[in-house]
Amino acid sequence: MKNIVVQKFGGTSVRNLECMRQVLNNVRRPLANGDKVIVVLSAMAGETNRLIALARQWSDHPDPAEMDSLVSTGEQISVALFSMMAKDEGIKCRSVLGFQIPIETDNSYGKARIEDIDSEKLLKMLEIDDVLVVAGFQGVDAIGRITTLGRGGSDTSAVAVAAALKAEMCEIYTDVPGVFTTDPNICAEARKIDRISYDEMLEMASMGAKVLQIRSVEFAKKYNVAVHVRSTFSDEPGTMVTQEDTVMEAVQVSGVAYDKDQAQVTLVGVIDEPGVCASIFTPIAENKILVDMIVQNPSKDGRTDITFTVTRADLDATLKLIEGLKGEIGYQALLSDKNVSKVSVIGVGMRNHSGVAAKAFRAMRDENINILMISTSEIKLSCLIEDKYTELAVRTLHQTFVG
């Protein structure tokens, strides 16, 4: 069998005929090398939103299984159009839908998880055609109903197919040249990262560096698939997401991320007894509210303050929930603030370099930026700040660590 290259193109890369021609040029490159190519496509930009808007007209609470069957047509249209165009150009290819491989998933409609991909079927199809144009974002569950993998799911489709075929490389084509050290819109010094580890990418992606779907990176890490994030509209190499290596560890910080979608909630004077945290966060989780940062101060006189952050959209629901628990928890006051944001520095090198935190705090202090909350992991340091300082903090941290 020849070498197999997996390429994924997002919605902006297939948004019209012109862009699809550009995609075809990218496909020709490995074809010219004699490789077989699997092209994973998203729906044309705007199509998924159009279908969701239709569903909202038809139903107040669209059934999730019907929703998946509905929105999966977006990718079905992309792959059919691309395949007929490529065939006109003499390329041996065909479109492949999720159920045709199949890409088997669980039945969590709208956010299904891939359970298995029939790689033998794919290999057989590759004996007949040189290019398989696979519909991203979609799979099929055990009873044959169409599922979707959640927003950005085509990234996961591509990485999963690459993993199933043990392809050496999964190329994710997008409308930016790669992953940046921070948001170029905020910081003119931001530059493209050449190599980044899976873990760093996970932290970057979850912070709004929206280049890759988080789940696709988890998949890539699990199956050790090298992911090359690059531009559809340029030949330049992009960012390689791979296993950690020693070069990466020599660098303290790989990137600076931020997230403005944060709201802070503080329960003042909570009686500090075993199980109090559980009684706060269990009902929050049951209501599907995602909590990000959590800080608890050492208790004083048997009482403590507990502070955490949620997304701004979830703030009202969270406050209502906590108010309902007042009798049970017995806090003295409930405070909240929507005008906060989170800035983070990320890097596998932090593990071996103490002093990153201190250096970050000094840099913030020099700009008079007050730190409201701190949370740390092995490869990440996050600070909650007043959101008006977000851009300044990002630029400051970027200059301090990335330069």
Q: Does the annotation flag 10 for ligand binding?
A: yes
Residue 360 CB, nearest approach to a copy of itself (Å): 49
| Cα–Cα distance, 6 to 157 (Å, whole number) | 10
Q: Does the annotation flag 174 for ligand binding?
A: yes
In sequence order, what are the beta bridge partners of 131? 37, 93
Residue 172 CB, nearest approach to a copy of itself (Å): 24
Residue 154 CB, nearest approach to a copy of itself (Å): 17
Contact 290, 275 (CB under 8 A): no
| Structure token digits, residue 107 | 């039945």
| Cα–Cα distance, 212 to 200 (Å, whole number) | 12
State how far the alpha carbon of 6 is from the alpha carbons of 118, 225, 318, 339, in Å: 16, 11, 43, 42
Residue 147 CB, nearest approach to a copy of itself (Å): 13
In 129-192, alpha helices (H):
153-164
CB nearer a copy of itself, residue 29 or residue 94 = 94
CB nearer a copy of itself, residue 31 or residue 270 = 31
Contact 307, 266 (CB under 8 A): yes
CB nearer a copy of itself, residue 22 or residue 69 = 69
Tell me phi and psi for residue 10, to 5 degrees.
Answer: -85, 180
| Cα–Cα distance, 333 to 354 (Å, whole number) | 37
Instruction: Count CA atoms within 13 Å of residue 209 on its CB side.
Output: 29
Report the residue count for the chain: 403
Q: Does the annotation flag 105 for ligand binding?
A: no
Angle at 160 between CA 148 and CA 62, to 5 degrees: 5
Q: Does the annotation flag 37 for ligand binding?
A: no
Q: Does the annotation flag 48 for ligand binding?
A: yes
Q: Does the annotation flag 211 for ligand binding?
A: yes
Q: Does the annotation flag 47 for ligand binding?
A: no
Query: Interface with a copy of itself by CB under 8 A: which residues?
Result: 17, 20, 51, 54-55, 57-63, 65-67, 69-70, 72-73, 76-77, 79-85, 87-88, 94-95, 97, 99-100, 144-146
Q: Does the annotation flag 75 for ligand binding?
A: yes
Eight-state DSSP code of residue 243: S
Q: What is the largest CA-CA distance in the chain?
A: 79
| Cα–Cα distance, 386 to 262 (Å, whole number) | 10
Residue 125 CB, nearest approach to a copy of itself (Å): 9
Residue 251 CB, nearest approach to a copy of itself (Å): 45
CB nearer a copy of itself, residue 67 or residue 360 = 67
Residue 76 CB, nearest approach to a copy of itself (Å): 5
CB nearer a copy of itself, residue 97 or residue 170 = 97
Task: State the CB neighbour count (10 A cutoff) for residue 372.
Answer: 20
Residue 234 CB, nearest approach to a copy of itself (Å): 24
CB nearer a copy of itself, residue 94 or residue 353 = 94
Residue 83 CB, nearest approach to a copy of itself (Å): 5
State how far the alpha carbon of 107 is from the alpha carbons of 56, 184, 370, 392, in Å: 22, 39, 46, 44
| Cα–Cα distance, 100 to 104 (Å, whole number) | 10
| Cα–Cα distance, 132 to 288 (Å, whole number) | 38
* Contacts for 96 with CB less than 8 Å, ≥ 6 apart: 79, 122, 125, 132, 133, 134, 135
Beta strands 333-346; 255-271: pairing state: antiparallel
Residue ranges for the known binding site for ATP are 8-11, 174-175, 210-211
Residue ranges for the known binding site for substrate are 48, 75
Residue ranges for the known binding site are 8-11, 48, 75, 174-175, 210-211
